């Protein structure tokens, strides 16, 4: 169902208030790795509003490699995140980690993110298929494109067509960066499916200094959007500070991506 052979027309996902993700638009989604509190949300929202970015990312349920790391503010954090974003016309994308969270989160979310570690959690995918909320589905840490497409098929075949695919880097042997952002995936996925393709250069390379190069490369590779991490003091971020842009770097990247998209 997600194949271009079944549907040629590109899927566009309407989040309301004129925010449409998919071919014909270039979507920028930005925000911290983790939601940390009211002041942080307000400062990020102000940065996004200033730069005309309509979707804020931020995790409240965090899949962390260590159980002792910060695991997110949970549902209360999501409610604060939602209130401040609604007051400012910003849409929310945040990760759902398990089936039981869907119901408590659904009224406070515009897009559910399925993280790389849950890319093949088939119960979660089935339930998101029934939930009728847009989903950003990340590629697994060592996932093939075929596995990503089949994961999307789980959601679509349950009746939810509002899916975007996300390339976020795959695990390799190179130690100089966190992951290998596989930009080959962009044109290949665009040809194979009618779904929007989004790139996450923050997790894709994992080092702040290189995020903008990879984001710009993603634009030119044909991505329908980019999702990246930004924070007013990345050094103090509760998670993923090493790959997070400060607001100055973020503003510069937004401008450069828009210029690059105009050249495409």
Given the rule CB under 5 A, which residues bind Mn ion? Answer: 33, 240
Q: What are phi and psi of 10, to 5 degrees?
A: -65, 140
Residue at shortest CB range from ligand PEP? 115
User: By C-beta, is 86 or 171 nearer to Mn ion?
Assistant: 171
CA dist., res. 264 & res. 259, Å (int):
9
Does residue number 33 form part of the binding site for ligand PEP (CB under 6 A)? yes
User: By C-beta, is 4 or 120 nearer to ligand PEP?
Assistant: 120
- CA distances (Å), origin 184, targets 15, 134, 136: 28, 25, 19
Does residue number 115 form part of the binding site for ligand PEP (CB under 6 A)? yes
Q: How far is the CB of 112 from Mn ion (least distance, A)?
A: 16
Does residue number 63 form part of the binding site for ligand PEP (CB under 6 A)? yes
Does residue number 168 form part of the binding site for ligand PEP (CB under 6 A)? yes
Helical pair 38-50 and 74-87, crossing angle rounded to 10 deg: 30
User: By C-beta, is 114 or 219 nearer to ligand PEP?
Assistant: 114
Q: How far is the CB of 126 from Mn ion (least distance, A)?
A: 25
User: By C-beta, is 3 or 98 nearer to ligand PEP?
Assistant: 98
Q: How far is the CB of 244 from ligand PEP (least distance, A)?
A: 10
CA dist., res. 31 & res. 55, Å (int):
9
Look at the chain and count its residues. 264
CA dist., res. 107 & res. 172, Å (int):
38
Site for ligand PEP in 122-151 (CB under 6 A): 138
Instruction: Give the closest residue to 244 by CA, choosing from 256, 255, 254, 232.
Output: 232
Radius of gyration of the chain, Cα coordinates, nearest whole angstrom: 17
Does residue number 203 form part of the binding site for ligand PEP (CB under 6 A)? yes
Does residue number 231 form part of the binding site for ligand PEP (CB under 6 A)? no
Does residue number 178 form part of the binding site for ligand PEP (CB under 6 A)? no
Instruction: Give the closest residue to 210 by CA, choosing from 166, 186, 245.
Output: 245
Exposed, middle or buried, 236 (CB in 10 Å: 0-12/13-18/19+)? exposed
- Site for ligand PEP, rule CB under 6 A: 33, 59, 63, 115-117, 138, 168, 203
């Amino acid at each position: 169902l997600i194949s271009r052979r079944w549907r040629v027309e590109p899927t566009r996902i309407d989040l309301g208030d004129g925010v449409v993700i998919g071919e014909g638009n270039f979507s920028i989604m930005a925000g911290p790795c983790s939601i940390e509190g009211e002041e942080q949300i307000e400062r990020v929202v102000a940065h996004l509003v200033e730069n005309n970015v309509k979707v804020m990312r931020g995790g409240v349920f965090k899949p962390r490699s260590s159980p002792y790391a910060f695991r997110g503010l949970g549902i209360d954090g999501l409610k604060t995140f939602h209130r401040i974003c609604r007051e400012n016309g910003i849409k929310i994308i945040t990760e759902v980690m398990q089936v039981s969270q869907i119901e408590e989160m659904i009224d406070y979310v515009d897009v559910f993110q399925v993280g790389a570690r849950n890319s093949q959690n088939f119960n979660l995918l089935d339930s998101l298929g029934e939930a009728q909320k847009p989903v950003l589905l990340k590629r697994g840490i060592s996932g093939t494109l075929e596995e990503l497409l089949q994961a999307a098929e789980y959601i679509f075949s349950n009746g939810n067509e509002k899916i975007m695919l996300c390339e976020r880097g795959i695990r390799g042997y190179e130690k100089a960066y966190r992951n290998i952002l596989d930009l080959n995936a962009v044109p290949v996925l665009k040809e194979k499916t009618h779904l929007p393709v989004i790139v996450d250069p923050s997790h894709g390379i994992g080092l702040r200094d290189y995020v903008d190069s990879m984001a710009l490369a993603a634009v030119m590779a044909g991505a329908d959007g980019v999702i990246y991490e930004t924070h007013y003091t990345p050094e103090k971020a509760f998670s993923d500070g090493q790959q997070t842009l400060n607001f100055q770097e973020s503003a510069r990247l937004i401008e450069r991506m828009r210029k690059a998209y105009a050249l495409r």
